[in-house]
Every structure is written in structure tokens, then in C-alpha cells.
Chain A
Amino acid sequence: MTAGVDLGVTAVQAIRSDEDVVRVRQLVRTTAVAAKLSLVDQTKLVTAASELARNTLIYGGGGTAEVAAVDDGRRRGIRIVFADEGPGIPDLDLALTDGYTTGGGLGLGLSGARRLVDDFDIRTAVGEGTRVTVTKWSR
């Protein structure tokens, strides 16, 4: 799980539609720019957020993205929590495999997003929902 103190700058975006996925990207971009992440890191984080927000919408049936600026004492970063109360993921290992999909996509959303961030944590329970927490630290 991600360590780090919440700096108190938290914004929550509901994910109920396509347009909300765009709003999540914009919120993450603004926060990443403010935290002075490098351009490549901003791009990676926004891309990961886009994948995960789409997952929340399509597989989780909608949910929320909570974006926070954090500090672990040595560096600053951005932490995003994607939460839904959808069906959950029965086989997590399989879901994290490149190319595996149940939704007709490319199967790169979850596995690709994990590669693009520094910390990645996923908790899921069948019938209860899924919670993905990712953090990108400034270098």
C-alpha cells in the first residue's frame, strides 16, 4: 500500500459516463502539472488514469476517482483511488495479464496502467467492488 501523507488537496470526480472519463483525465493532468511532475511522468499518469477510469465505468458500472497530492517526506506525488461497487474481479492474476479482456478491449488497461505508475494496489471482492490505488512520485 502506498505510504505518504495526504497534503489535503483532494478532488473527487464521479465516473458515470464517457465524458466523466475525460474529466478524470483533465483533473489528473491539472494536479500533475501543479505537483511539477515531469512531462513524461504527467503523460504516463494521465494515460494510466484514463485506462483505470474507463475500467471503473465499463467493468465496475461507474464509481469515483479521488485525486490527491501526497508527500512521503522525501518527494511529492499524486495518488489516485478508483473505486466502484461493481461485480469485482474473480481472477485478479488473469485480469492483470497483458492481452486478457472480458470487455472486447485490448486487455492492456489494468496491466498497462500498472507499468505506467510507481505504486499500484488493487483490492477486489466478488459482488462488492474494486478499489485501485496508484501513485506517481516526482523524481
Chain B
Amino acid sequence: MDRVPILKIGDILLVSIQVDMSDQTAVQLQENLAERIVATGSHGVIIDITALDIVDSFVGRMLSTIASISKVLDAETVVVGMRPAVAITLVELGLSLNGIRTALNVERGMELIAAARADEWYEVDGDEDAETTARS
């Protein structure tokens, strides 16, 4: 069975899917990634699907599940590199990729994660300010 490598780059985990995954391989990736997020304390996951020439309902569901699991483990997921033909097919298939953020390439994906983290800090600060104002 193929295994999809997970690379750590700074605060981010990068998964570049280079093989035509069997369903079993996809499920394995889901589990390995959850373990790596916790082990490394990463706050962002980028899944690069540039090399995938199809995304069917199984892989689509896997991407959604990874995004949900990451969210619970305090990490943002961005799917990058989707081919135009894959996007067209996904929409026609009826798959909406709920909860998944996408970016055109790895670089933009990293920017998106950085921005999402910054927003979160801002929101936390904002809440504290609001509380202080309410008390005074």
C-alpha cells in the first residue's frame, strides 16, 4: 500500500499527494495527519492536489473530514493546486467540499493560513477589549 508523506515546514504540515490513492491509503492519510498535527503542534495543514487528475466523492469526503479533524485540533486546512478539469467535474458530481478552504498554490495557501491565524488573535483581543469596556 502506498503511503502519502507528510512534511513539516515551520508551523505548517504539507501533504503533497503524488499517487493515485486507494481508499485505504486515503483513510490512512487521515489518521496519520491527525497524529502529526498533535505531535508537532502545527496550526496549519496544506494539502497539495496538483498531481491528482481526479477527485471523486471518496477523496472529496476525505478532504472534508481532514479539514474538520484539523479544526478540532486547532489547525487550519487549505487545499491547493486543484486542476480546472477537476474543479469542473467536482461541481457536476455534486460535491461541495464543505468547510474546505482552497488556494491556487502552496504559497497562497501559506498566506491564507497566516492570515487566518492573525484574524483569530485579533478576534481574541477584540473580545477582551469588549469585556473591559463593558466592565468600565
Q: Do A and B bind each other?
A: yes
Which residues on A are within 8 Å of B, measured CB to CB?
18-19, 21-22, 25-26, 29, 39-40, 42-44, 46-47, 50-51, 54, 98, 105-106, 108-109, 111-113, 115-116
Q: With contacts A19-B22, A22-B22, A25-B20 known, is A109 near B88, CB below 8 A? A: no
Q: Residues of A contacting B61 with CB < 8 Å?
A: 105-106
Given A46-B53, A116-B93, 4 other A-B contacts at CB below 8 A?
Answer: A44-B88, A44-B92, A105-B58, A115-B93
How many residue-residue contacts, CB under 8 A, span A and B?
72
B57 and A25 contacting across the interface, CB-CB below 8 Å: no
Chain B: interface secondary structure? helix
User: Number of residues in B with C-beta < 8 Å to the partner?
Assistant: 23
Shortest CB–CB separation between residue B5 and chain A, in angstroms?
18
Q: Which residues of B contact A (CB under 8 A)?
A: 20-24, 53-58, 60-61, 83-86, 88-89, 92-95
Distance between A59 CB and nearest chain B CB, rounded to angstroms: 14
- For B58, B60, B88, the residue with the greatest tally of chain A CB atoms inside 10 Å of its CB is B58
- Show 29 residue pairs from A and B whose CB-CB distance is below 8 angstroms, ordered by the A residue: A18-B22, A18-B23, A19-B22, A21-B22, A40-B89, A42-B53, A43-B88, A44-B89, A44-B92, A46-B53, A47-B54, A47-B55, A47-B56, A47-B89, A47-B93, A50-B54, A50-B58, A51-B56, A51-B57, A51-B93, A54-B56, A105-B58, A106-B95, A108-B93, A111-B94, A112-B57, A112-B94, A115-B93, A116-B92
Partner of A116, one of B20, B83, B89: B89
Contact yes or no, A108 B94, CB < 8 A: yes
> Would you call B92 and A106 a contact (CB within 8 A)?
no
| A109–B23 alpha-carbon span in the complex (Å) | 14
Residue in contact with B89 in the complex, picked from A21, A43, A105, CB distance below 8 Å: A43
B28 CB → nearest A CB, Å:
11
Report the bound CA distance from A39 to B24 in whole Å.
27
Q: Please, which residues of chain B bring their CB within 8 A of the CB of A98?
A: 94
Shortest distance from the beta carbon of A98 to any chain B beta carbon, whole Å: 6
Measured CA separation A50–B89 after assembly (Å): 13
Among residues of A, the one whose C-beta sits closest to the C-beta of B56 is A50
In the complex, the answer to whether A112 meets B93 with C-beta atoms within 8 Å is yes
B22: chain A residues at CB < 8 Å are 18-19, 21-22
Complex formed: what's the CA distance from A6 to B38 in Å?
Answer: 54
Q: Which of B55, B57, B86 has the most CB of A within 10 A?
A: B57
- Most A CB contacts (10 A, CB to CB) among B21, B53, B61, B88 go to B53
